[in-house]
A = this chain, B = another copy of it.
Amino acid sequence: MKLFAVFACLLVGCLAGKPHPCSSPPLMSGALTVSSQNEKVWAYAQYLYDALGQRLRLKEIGTYENKTFTYDVLLLYREATMYEIVKHNRTCKKKPLKGDFYPLGIPKTASLLGQAVVGSSSGPGEGLLVNTWTGDQPDKGGKFMITYTEFGCIPVSAAFHTEQFGWMVLSYFNNVVGISDPGELNPPDFCPDTEMENSKEEPADFLSLFFKKH
Q: Is the CB of A149 within 8 A of B120?
A: yes
Mark out the residues of chain A between 38 and 64 whose CB falls within 8 Å of any chain B CB in the assembled complex.
none
Q: Is the CB of B10 within 8 A of A119?
A: no
Contact with B along A107-149 (1 / 0, CB 8 A): 0000000001111111111111110000000000000000001
Q: Is the CB of B125 within 8 A of A10?
A: yes
- With a cutoff of 8 Å between Cβ atoms, the chain B residues found around residue A128 in the complex are 118-119, 125-128
A101 interface residue, CB < 8 Å from B? no
A168 interface residue, CB < 8 Å from B? no
With A3-B3, A3-B6 as known contacts, state yes or no: A156 contacts B125, CB within 8 Å.
no
Q: Is the CB of A129 within 8 A of B121?
A: no
Q: Is the CB of A119 within 8 A of B152?
A: yes
- Copies of this chain in the oligomer: 2
Q: Is the CB of A118 within 8 A of B6?
A: no
Beyond known contacts A28-B120, A122-B152: 7 more, CB 8 A cutoff: A7-B7, A118-B156, A118-B172, A119-B149, A120-B149, A120-B152, A123-B151
Distance A6 CA – B31 CA, assembled complex (angstroms) = 24
Q: Is the CB of A154 within 8 A of B173?
A: no
Contact with B along A166-189 (1 / 0, CB 8 A): 000000111111100000000000
Residue of A37, A120, A121, A128 with most partner-chain B CB within 10 A: A120
A171 and chain B: residue at smallest CB distance: B118
